[in-house]
Structure formats: structure tokens, C-alpha cells
Amino acid sequence: MQFDTIPTDKLIGDGRNVRRDLGDLTELAASIKSQGMLEPLVVAPVLDGWRIIAGHRRAAAATQAGLAEVPAIIRDDLESTPEIVGAMLVENLQRQNLSAVEEGEAYEQLALHDVDTAEMAKLTGRNRKTITSRRSLMKLAEPEQDRVHAGELTLDQAAALVEFADDPDTYKTLARDAGGFNFDWTLKNARNRRDAAAEVAKLRAELESAGATIHDEADQDDDDEGPIDHDTMTSAYSLVTEDGDDADPRSLPIEDVVWVQNKSGRHLEAWVRNPAEHGLRHRWGHLETPEERAERQAEHEAKLKHREALEAAHEVRMDVVARIGAAKKPPKGYERLLLLAMNASSVYYGRTIEVDVNLDATGPAALGQALVLACRRAEFALGAAWHSPRVWLDDLVTAYVDLLKAAGWEPSQVERDGMDQAEVDLAESQT
């Protein structure tokens, strides 16, 4: 390594420069013209000149300022392409703030030359987890890479998009909502839907290994011809035992049950052949007509979809509650929520909500844990929101919503719809 001055017309920019753009050079060129280049470039010798390792902006500004030569540190120890790219990356990491996308692009260049993650870590001083995370950004579509580079998307949002990079429809929806109020709900709902599909896939594999045949909903044509014979079969959803318990189709002989997977891939419906022979009766006392069946199925699908949406919203809220409980200072409005929660009727206890709470906490930490319990009390009330939107107007719930907003939460679209419906229902009840 040595120091020298070299002609600007012998400088060669590297197309592998880890920076995406050089930006506006006007002020830098003016400064170099009046004061000279105070910080030398870093270059490596090549046959026809000097390849720039670090200082692409300064070199461009020096040319713009009309300098004939510039100071440079000459790295004659760099021979291979990985060494050059690695040196560029290290220089930029040390001197300037590279965006995460620029880092990822540089690591990908190294990977193209068979440099593994461990070697990248040695070259750059970065830990392997960071390198892997930055490289994963290359799975994003170019528009989303640009948004990360510009700071419009956080790394957490980018990681969520990467998570669904192999699911174009979900990726598109997440990209649309990233940076907006609905993103946390969209992500939670997408994960829940993926988990539900995985559970169905697991059940399907178990059934098939037991000898069952699984049909797709599309196998039943528009004329109602297909694997389901409505004259002899009834949906297990509509069947109960003589004691009124829900039918368990997995306990029946496999040849007497037809399984159908719906279009979303998240539900398997069992159809039972000759249910009376298995001690089962229709839940509503009669066999459905095709019209009743279609109406019931549509209503059932709509309820499932709505419940899924509300469950995702609930999980997002509980993430915020966890942060509130761990915070050193409670959000504004916490006193009202605590008082209302202590005064709330036990009617709110309608479902089980698991929370991580330390009942032995003391001092300021105890306040955070008390808030978690108060929030859970409000969540009990919101358990009725799927069939009774007016619960959003309950004093406890409104205090809870105000607390969440003070902690930075924004309601998702399904929650906003519920709040709007609550206002409509209230107005109608007063007319």
C-alpha cells in the first residue's frame, strides 16, 4: 500500500461500485475546486489505469471541478475480483452509511464469485446474521428494493415481504399495505392464512396416508355433478350425534366419508354417506335443499373469513399490549382504562386469552403488568365484536382503543369497519 498522486484521466470507475448513485456533486465539486481533495481516493492498479475502490463521488467531483490529478492510496495487494468488491464494501461501510439494499447487492456480487457467508464475514467484519439478512433483500422485487433503499420501508417490513416472496398474491398485498396503517393486520392475517393452509396440508397428508381420497372443490361442476352425491351424502358441519354433539368424520369408516378441499386451501369439508347408519342426524332436523346448502356454505365461508380477519387484528393488538407492559412509562390515558377494567362486569369473560404477565412484579413494573391485565379484560369484551359490533362503543373498549393509539397503534380496516358499523347500529337504535 502506498500514497501517490495520479491523473484523473487514468481513473476507472467500477461498475460493481456498491453505491447505487453518486447524488448531486455540485457542492462537492465546488469544495474540491477551491480547497483541493482533502481525503485521498483508494485505488487498485490495472493494465490501463487505476480502478477506484473507494471515492467514486470524490473522483467524479474532481473531474467535474477540472482537476488534472488527485491524491490516492494505492492498493497493489488487491488482485482478484472478490478482493476488490470486498475492499469496496469495507471502505464504504467504514466511511459512509450504505443502505441495506446496497449492502445486499455487494454481498450478492461476492457470492457470484463463490465467496461464502463465513468468508464475507471475515472480509467485512459484519456478522453472518446481518449478511444473510441483507442478502435476503435481493428476493424483493425491484420496486420494493427501491423503497427500502429510499427509507420508505423499514427492514422489518422488508423482512415480512421476503417471507412471502414465493407467494405472488400475498406479496403484492403486503407490498401495497407496507408503510400504511393496515400493514400489521395484513401481515398477521397472511401468516394466519398460511398457517391454516399448512394445518390443512398436514391433515390432508394424514388422511391420504390412511387411504382417504381428497377432492378439490372445483371437482364439483356447475351442474352439481362430482364426488359429492347430495342424495346420499350430508356435510359433517350439518350433522350431530343423537346427544347433539358435533359429528367427528374421522371416527367414521373411511369409505363412508368424502373429503373436499375448498379453493382457498385452508378448509377441508367432510361429506358423510348415509349418516343415519352411523347414528348421526341433521343438526336442523331436515335435509337441506340445494339452495339452502349454497346459502349455508356462503354464510359459513363469510363468517370464517370475518373471524379470521378479527383474529389477526386481535393478535396485532396483543403485540402492542406486550410492548405496553414492557415499557418504562405507560401511554397516556392508562388511568381511565385501569379504573374501567376494575369496574367491568364479569360478562366480559367469554373466551380464554393467554397473556405473559408477572403477578409478582413490584414498583413501576407492577403498573405495566396491571395494564396488561386491563387490556386483556378489554379483549374479552371485543371477543363479541364478530356478531355484535356495538361492543366497540363500550366505555372499557373505547378507553382501551385510546390507550393503544397512544402507544402508536392504528386500527386495521376490519376494525375500522366494525367501529363504523357500531355507529350505524347505534344511530338506528335511536330512531
Q: Do residues 102 and 18 make contact, with C-beta atoms less than 8 angstroms apart?
A: yes
What local confidence, expressed as pLDDT, does residue 43 receive? Answer: 85
Highest mean pLDDT (candidates 107-116, 143-152, 337-346, 383-392):
143-152
Residue 320 lies in a domain: yes
How far, in Å, are 17, 135, 149 from residue 111 at the CA level?
15, 10, 21
pLDDT in tens, 250-286: 999 999 999 998 887 888 899 999 888 899 988 876 6
Residues 104 and 17 in one domain: yes
d(CA 316, CA 401): 13
What global pTM score does this model have?
0.64
Residues 151 and 134 in one domain: no
Average pLDDT over residues 212-234: 81
pLDDT in tens, 225-253: 788 887 788 889 889 998 889 999 999 99
Residue 19 lies in a domain: yes
DSSP state of 63: H
Residues 315 and 404 in one domain: yes
Residue 296 lies in a domain: no
Residues 128 and 145 in one domain: no
What local confidence, expressed as pLDDT, does residue 138 receive? Answer: 94
CA atoms lying within 13 Å on the CB side of residue 228 = 25
Last residue of a domain, one of 288, 321, 337: 288
Residues 108 and 177 in one domain: no
Domain count, the chain: 4
**What is the average pLDDT value for the chain, to the nearest integer?**
85
Residue 45 lies in a domain: yes
Last residue of a domain, one of 92, 116, 138: 138
CATH code (residue 98) = 3.90.1530.10
Residues 235 and 356 in one domain: no
Residue 188 lies in a domain: yes
Average pLDDT over residues 143-161: 94
Specify the length of the chain in residues: 431
Last residue of a domain, one of 160, 194, 228: 194
Residues 241 and 173 in one domain: no
Look-up of cell digits 396440508 = 201
Q: pLDDT above 90 covers what percent of the chain?
A: 40
Q: pLDDT above 70 covers what percent of the chain?
A: 88
Residues 339 and 424 in one domain: yes
What local confidence, expressed as pLDDT, does residue 243 receive? Answer: 87
Q: Tell me the pLDDT band of 349, cut-offs 50, 70 and 90.
A: very low
Tell me, rounded to whole angstroms, the distance of Cα 200 from its chain centroid: 21
- Does pLDDT of 134 surpass 90? yes
Q: Tell me the pLDDT band of 170, cut-offs 50, 70 and 90.
A: very high
Residues 133 and 147 in one domain: no
Sheet holding 69-74, edge to edge: 2-7, 69-74, 41-46, 49-54, 11-12
By residue range, what is the domain housing residue 273? Answer: 212-288
Q: Do residues 344 and 396 make contact, with C-beta atoms less than 8 angstroms apart?
A: yes
Residues 133 and 241 in one domain: no
Residues 420 and 380 in one domain: yes
Identify the residue with better confidence: 352 or 31: 31
28-32, 79-83, 124-128, 321-325: segment of lowest average pLDDT: 79-83
Residue 304 lies in a domain: no
pLDDT in tens, 66-94: 888 888 888 877 766 667 777 776 766 66
Residues 262 and 338 in one domain: no
What local confidence, expressed as pLDDT, does residue 347 receive? Answer: 47
430: buried, middle or exposed (CB in 10 Å: 19+, 13-18, 0-12)? exposed
Q: Which triple of cell numbers denotes residue 8?
A: 484523473
Residue 75 lies in a domain: yes
What local confidence, expressed as pLDDT, does residue 49 receive? Answer: 84
pLDDT in tens, 36-67: 888 888 888 887 888 888 788 888 888 888 88
Q: Do residues 237 and 222 make contact, with C-beta atoms less than 8 angstroms apart?
A: no
Residue 199 lies in a domain: no
